[in-house]
Amino acid sequence: MKAFFLVLSLFLSVAFAGDRSTAYNVICKPMPFETDRANCMSIVKRYSYFDDRGLQLCVKLNFDNNKLACMQIIGDKVYESFEMDSCVNQTFDTQKVQCLQDNGTPYNPNKPTCVPREETIKELSNSLFDLRNGNLRNADARINSLLARFTNCN
């Protein structure tokens, strides 16, 4: 039971990785000038979600004004891996910021999430194990659960 709560707490801490506090701590707090920190804080207050990889890209920009522009762009936007990879691979800060502007989709907290690849592999492996051991009911339940979650993906 203790292990269950430990795992649950780890998942909950990951689920809120793109919140305002994280954005403030990784972008605004390290800024040396109070005016930049205040501007950054006002940007953070406007949005409820910040893409984790987007924050990491913003942190690596060379100038605070580019970081502020980056924050305004990534706020309440979600980026696919290929979009973020494209932006990260740009050479100059201005190109990276423009790439973020041109990509991404609005964040929707109500959008159903698909099953992550690692979880899918694990569940299918467990189902196969159950099938081989004659636990048809368990295998059926796992596969039906996966199918239901895939059906709701957009």
**Run means of pLDDT, 10 residues per run, the chain, 154 residues:** 39 49 94 95 94 93 96 93 91 96 88 71 88 89 78 55
Please tell me whether residues 101 and 137 are part of one structural domain.
no
Q: How many domains are there within the chain?
A: 2
Nearest Cα residue to 42 out of 59, 54, 30, 28: 28
What's the whole-model pTM score?
Answer: 0.62
Which residues are 77's β-sheet partners? 106
Please tell me whether residues 35 and 96 are part of one structural domain.
yes
What is the domain extent for residue 48?
Answer: 18-106
| Domain annotation covers residue 95 | yes
- 25 touches 50 (CB < 8 A): no
Please tell me whether residues 81 and 129 are part of one structural domain.
no
| Domain annotation covers residue 5 | no
Please tell me whether residues 94 and 34 are part of one structural domain.
yes
CA distance 42 to 116: 34
- 96 touches 61 (CB < 8 A): yes
Please tell me whether residues 81 and 127 are part of one structural domain.
no
- 54 touches 84 (CB < 8 A): yes
User: Residue 72 carries which side chain, given as an amino acid letter?
Assistant: Q
CA distance 56 to 78: 14
